[in-house]
């Protein structure tokens, strides 16, 4: 007959205690301040022969006739050019300047074609009759203007397009 083994006493496990330690002992020092970004100086030029801007942050060679302009003036010229002005070189000041471009027959013709194209949709059969008639009159006024252009093209007075009150047909013209 085998000898019974003595019962195994239960093992008592002490409750888990999380220990926190810091290394190195004491408060954590703050991160050092980030170094300042490097200062990049960009030089801007305008070249009358190229009729364009150049800057030192590109590898494009700068023409010999280029003049240095400030970054602020460069931004101002770009904004004025975006607003429709031309950038030309003023020989008296030796600086680029923004001017209102002269009105030419090509400018007038381009605007006429653009206005006609933007209103082509008003002459389709599915456009309400009142809108179609209002825009027919407007388009006739545009055609008449092109036939009777004044000698001084800067004095051209363009007809005003009709107002569309129907929200289904209201578009930016």
Span 45-83, pLDDT tens digits: 999 999 999 998 887 899 999 999 999 999 999 999 998
- pLDDT of 92 above 90: yes
Question: For residues 88 and 9, what is the distance between their CA atoms, to the nearest angstrom?
Answer: 101
Span 127-168, pLDDT tens digits: 999 999 999 999 999 999 999 999 999 899 999 999 988 888
Domain ranges in the chain are 44-99, 105-155
Check residue 173 and give its pLDDT.
63
Rounded to 5 degrees, φ, ψ at 133 are -70, -45
Residues whose CB falls within 8 Å of the CB of residue 81, separated by 6 or more in sequence, listed in order: 87, 98
Strand order in the sheet with 52-55: 52-55, 44-47, 67-69
CA distances from 89 to 47, 50, 169 (A): 8, 11, 46
Model confidence pTM above 0.75: no
**DSSP output for the chain:** -PPPPPPPPPPPPPPP------SSSSPPPPPPPPPPPPP----EEEETTTTEEEETTS-PPPPTT-EEE-HHHHHHHHHHHHTTPEEEEETTTTEEEEEPPPP-HHHHHHHHHHHHHHTGGGGSTTS-HHHHHHHHHHHHHHHHHHHS--SSGGG--PPPPPPP--TTT----
């Amino acid at each position: 007959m085998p000898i019974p083994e003595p019962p195994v006493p239960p093992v008592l496990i002490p409750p888990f205690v999380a220990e926190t330690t810091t290394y190195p002992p004491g408060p954590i020092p703050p991160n050092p301040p980030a170094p300042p970004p490097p200062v990049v100086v960009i030089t801007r030029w305008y070249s009358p022969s190229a009729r364009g801007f150049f800057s030192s942050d590109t590898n494009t060679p700068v023409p010999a006739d280029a003049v240095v302009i400030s970054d602020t003036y460069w931004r101002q010229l770009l904004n004025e050019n975006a607003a429709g002005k031309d950038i030309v070189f003023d020989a008296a000041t030796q600086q680029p300047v923004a001017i209102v471009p002269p009105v030419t027959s090509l400018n007038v013709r381009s605007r006429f074609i653009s206005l006609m194209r933007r209103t082509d949709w008003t002459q389709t059969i599915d456009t309400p009759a009142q809108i179609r008639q209002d825009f027919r009159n407007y388009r006739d006024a545009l055609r008449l203007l092109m036939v009777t252009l004044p000698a001084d093209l800067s004095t051209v007075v363009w007809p005003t397009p009709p107002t569309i009150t129907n929200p289904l047909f209201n578009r930016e013209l």
